[in-house]
Amino acid sequence: MTKYCVIVLSFLLTSTVLAQDRVDLLYLKSGETLRGTVHSYQRGESMIFILSTGDTVRSRAGTMNLIKGIRIGKRNKKGFQQRTAGFWHQYELGANFENEAGTTLYPQGAIQATVGYQWSKMKKVGLGIGLEAMEDFNMVPVYVSIGGDWFEGRKVTPYHFVNVGTAFASGRSYVFEDRFREINGGFRFNPGIGIKIHRRRAFYTISAGYLMQNIEYQENFWGGWWIDRAGITQVSRSFRRMSLRFGIGF
């Protein structure tokens, strides 16, 4: 379980540069123009200017005469920014709900992260990894995600996704340590729809979908008054779940 957490956390900590919603221009007397954001400014005394590259320019009283002028950029009047092309990344928390034999059981937690590239609002492809509990197993899904937004230029839009892949699995046993052996996760299929809310630098999502996850394993039976057989049984299963996710993306 610990090594799976390390894998997922390493994936989640992958950093990217976010696009700014305002660009200021700093004109130097040398003729050079710098693009970025004015962090602080005191007329004739000092200024801190953060470049679009992330570097910082600091000017004090002795060097202020080198600056010809400043133009303050305008913020996005719409109050949101919808990405229609370029790289994106999304992180989600949620749960999988089991419903077998007409009985709804407790939800089991899930976390996942996806990064990818978008050509247009309806052409979006990514690669994802996650960590989730499923009955007595820990699953680490690895999948390809295909999807897109339904509308362009709207702060709130429906969207769809189809995640297809496989999963690595390990067993949990609260009674016998060697209850499960030879555990292999199999095919995974997770289509769904959701609502996306765009903000200045990010977007928020809520989604629901259908999840199918195959798994194969060997299970030990010791026999006793509560069970009439003993030995090792080969088991092939297909978990069917409803998935619910809340996410943030950039």
Q: Across-strand partners of 38?
A: 49
What domains appear along the chain, each with residue ranges and CATH number?
24-71 (2.30.30), 81-249 (2.40.160.20)
Of the two residues 130 and 120, the one the predictor is more confident about is 130
Residue 78: strand, helix, or coil: coil
Answer yes or no: pTM beyond 0.85.
no
Which one of 24-28, 104-108, 109-113 scores highest in mean pLDDT? 109-113
Tokens of 33: 């123009």
The confidence score (pLDDT) of residue 207 equals 97
Residue 18 has what pLDDT?
A: 37
Tens digits of residue pLDDT in 130-155: 999 988 899 999 999 999 999 988 88
The H or E element that residue 7 is part of is helix 2-12
pLDDT at 44 over 90: no
Residue with tokens 């690895």: 142
Are 169 and 138 within 8 A, CB to CB? yes
First to last CA, the chain: 28
d(CA 196, CA 201): 13
- Residue 108 predicted with pLDDT over 70: yes
If we measure between CA atoms, which residue out of 38, 70, 40 comes closest to residue 51?
38
Secondary structure class of 14 (helix, strand, coil): coil
**Phi and psi (nearest 5°) for 65?**
-70, -5
- The pLDDT, as a whole number, for residue 20 is 47
Question: Can you give the pLDDT at residue 51?
Answer: 87
